[in-house]
């Protein structure tokens, strides 16, 4: 069974989570974790299902919005995705097709049928320094007693817990290493990897590649509209005009979806000290020396 745990950094910063089988999960994960993970593993996957898999703060909403527009043929912004992690299986099973589902779980926790090649998996990856700074600013945005009690973090404390893997989803490095194993061992052709920094540089080409992968319309007018509506500026504006779900309404003062901030590449420079950056680079060089993934930091 999952157990509640409070992890602390040297400066007293803390996060409250659940731990199960030596993995950290957000405290609002469905059920007792063990049973819900089993339900996910056994779920019936539809041919037109899309699973958007991301490490937290790596462009989840971006990949979800792109996938939703391409899958449905509609270019309207719909807000937050349905997360496998935080939604009971009855609700998931009753969603109309085509379903686009998000998760911060690694591929090994996905449905057995996905591993057998059914459905599509969209992996979104982002450089770990911007992930860390985005994680910190997101936690500081939340304004509700339950969340304030769950996240009390300084930047120094967050960085220590993040590098030590004592955050939901574990370390970013372990997450990337898990994808390296999937690239090596998975025999199907139902996975695409999107890189956040590459999408910022050339969104249009990535939208076309994703459309081809999902079997969506590749008519240029449609792809141009999807690209236009999925720029950071457009999604940020649309989110401010959209009433967020009750979950988000309860944790913000301004009642605006607290997902979008800057969306820039290289904003980490506003947070890392020289010493922190040098230490991080040393860890990155060691952890990523055998990885097939390359990331840009500016």
Residue 244 is predicted with a pLDDT of 52
Quick check: 200 and 265 in contact, CB under 8 A? yes
- Is 61 part of any domain? yes
Indicate whether 259 pLDDT > 80. no
- Is 294 part of any domain? no
Tell me the mean pLDDT in the region 53-79: 93
Q: Which of 36, 61, 78, 104 is catalytic?
A: 104
pLDDT winner (highest mean) among 110-119, 230-239, 246-255, 260-269: 110-119
8-state DSSP, 60: H
Residue 104 among the catalytic residues: yes
- Is 157 part of any domain? yes
Indicate whether 74 pLDDT > 90. yes
pLDDT, tens only, 106-143: 999 999 999 999 999 999 999 999 999 998 888 777 65
- Name the residue range of residue 242's domain: 3-287
Which of 118-127, 147-156, 161-170, 226-235 has the lowest average pLDDT? 147-156
- Is 195 part of any domain? yes
Residue 147 is predicted with a pLDDT of 58
Residue 141 is predicted with a pLDDT of 72
- Please give the span between the terminal C-alpha atoms of the chain, in angstroms, as a whole number: 42
Supply 165's token pair: 């893997």
Q: What is the distance between the alpha carbons of residues 52 and 73, in angstroms, rounded to a whole number?
A: 17
Residue 137 is predicted with a pLDDT of 86
Residue 262 is predicted with a pLDDT of 65
- Is 14 part of any domain? yes
Answer positive or negative: Cα dihedral of 240, 105, 296, 277. Answer: positive
pLDDT, tens only, 192-241: 999 999 999 999 999 999 999 999 999 999 999 999 999 888 877 755 55
- Is 204 part of any domain? yes
Average pLDDT over the chain reads 89
Residue 292 confidence class, pLDDT cut points 50, 70, 90 = very high
As a three-state string, the secondary structure of 77-113 is: CCCCCEECCCCCHHHHHCCCCCCEEEECCCHHHCCHH
Centre a 10 Å sphere on the Cβ of residue 241 and count the other Cβ atoms it contains.
8
Rounded to 5°, the CA angle 152-156-157 comes to: 40
What is the reported pTM? 0.91
3-class secondary structure, 139: helix
- Is 78 part of any domain? yes
Q: What is the distance between the alpha carbons of residues 233 and 134, in angstroms, rounded to a whole number?
A: 17
Domains held by the chain: number: 1
Quick check: 93 and 18 in contact, CB under 8 A? no
8-state DSSP, 44: P
User: Which residues have a Cβ under 8 Å from the Cβ of 221 and sit 6 or more positions away?
Assistant: none
Residue 173 is predicted with a pLDDT of 97
- Is 292 part of any domain? no
Indicate whether 294 pLDDT > 70. yes
Residue 233 is predicted with a pLDDT of 81
Quick check: 124 and 59 in contact, CB under 8 A? yes
Residue 119: closest CA among 86, 79, 92: 92
Tell me the mean pLDDT in the region 141-160: 75
Q: What is the CATH number of the domain that holds 61?
A: 3.40.50.300
């Amino acid at each position: 069974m999952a157990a509640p745990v409070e992890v602390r950094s040297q400066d007293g910063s803390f996060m409250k989570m659940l731990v199960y089988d030596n993995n950290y999960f957000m405290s609002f994960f469905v059920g007792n974790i063990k049973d819900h993970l089993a339900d996910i593993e056994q779920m019936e996957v539809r041919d037109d299902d899309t699973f958007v898999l991301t490490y937290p703060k790596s462009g989840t909403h971006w990949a979800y919005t792109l996938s939703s527009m391409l899958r449905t043929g509609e270019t309207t912004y719909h807000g937050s995705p349905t997360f496998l992690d935080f939604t009971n299986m009855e609700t998931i099973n009753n969603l109309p097709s085509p379903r686009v589902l998000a998760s911060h779980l690694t591929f090994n926790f996905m449905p057995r049928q996905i591993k057998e090649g059914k459905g599509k998996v969209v992996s979104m990856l982002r450089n770990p320094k911007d992930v860390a700074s985005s994680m910190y600013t997101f936690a500081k945005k939340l304004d509700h007693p339950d969340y304030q009690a769950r996240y009390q973090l300084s930047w120094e404390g967050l960085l220590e817990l993040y590098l030590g893997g004592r955050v939901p989803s574990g370390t970013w490095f372990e997450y990337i290493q898990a994808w390296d194993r999937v690239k090596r061992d998975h025999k199907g052709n139902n996975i695409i990897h999107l890189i956040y920094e590459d999408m910022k540089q050339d969104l249009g080409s990535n939208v076309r590649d994703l459309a081809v992968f999902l079997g969506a319309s590749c008519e240029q007018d449609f792809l141009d509209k999807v690209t236009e509506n999925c720029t950071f500026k457009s999604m940020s504006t649309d989110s401010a005009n959209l009433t967020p779900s009750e979950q988000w309404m309860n944790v913000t003062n301004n009642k605006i979806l607290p997902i979008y901030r800057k969306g820039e590449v290289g904003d980490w420079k506003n947070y890392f000290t020289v010493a922190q950056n040098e230490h991080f680079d040393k860890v990155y060089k060691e952890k990523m020396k055998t990885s097939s993934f390359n990331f840009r930091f500016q």
